[in-house]
Amino acid sequence: MAVLGDLAEGFVNELRALRSECAALPATRAALTDPAAVILSDRYAIVQAAAAVLGIWEGQDGADAFLADPAWAVLALSRLAGRLGIVVPDLPESCLHQVLDELIRRYRGGLSCDLDGSELTQ
């Protein structure tokens, strides 16, 4: 799915911009009280969340059909990208439907809605 690559590239560009902006912060304790540092750290946390999504998707072994399909990763990355103002390419209609179908299946099957889809205890 090409859109996954486009989103990943957007986060790489964001990381490059962050690196440049962080390097411009003063190397003193004054940077700790600068509101710009708080904004940069928030942006960095979102980039790290995107890296986690990509790492989980890339590291999956194909045993779980839902995790093997990039739809969930594309949807998650598009939401994170929107928070950073990264241009989100048009998503395939199937992405949302696949994720919603899986959530409904898990709900009906008493499974968690996290990536593991583990059985919920009563």
* Residues 29-52 pLDDT 10s: 888 888 889 999 999 999 999 999
Question: Does some domain include residue 23?
Answer: yes
pLDDT of residue 82: 95
Q: Please report, for residues 18, 40, 42, 45, the alpha-carbon distance to residue 35 in angstroms, rounded to integers and kept in the order given.
A: 15, 9, 11, 16
Question: Does some domain include residue 6?
Answer: yes
Q: In the chain, how many domains are there?
A: 1
pTM of the model: 0.88
Nearest of 36, 61, 45, 47 to residue 13 by alpha carbon: 47
Give the residue numbers spanning the domain of 59. 2-108
Question: Does some domain include residue 57?
Answer: yes
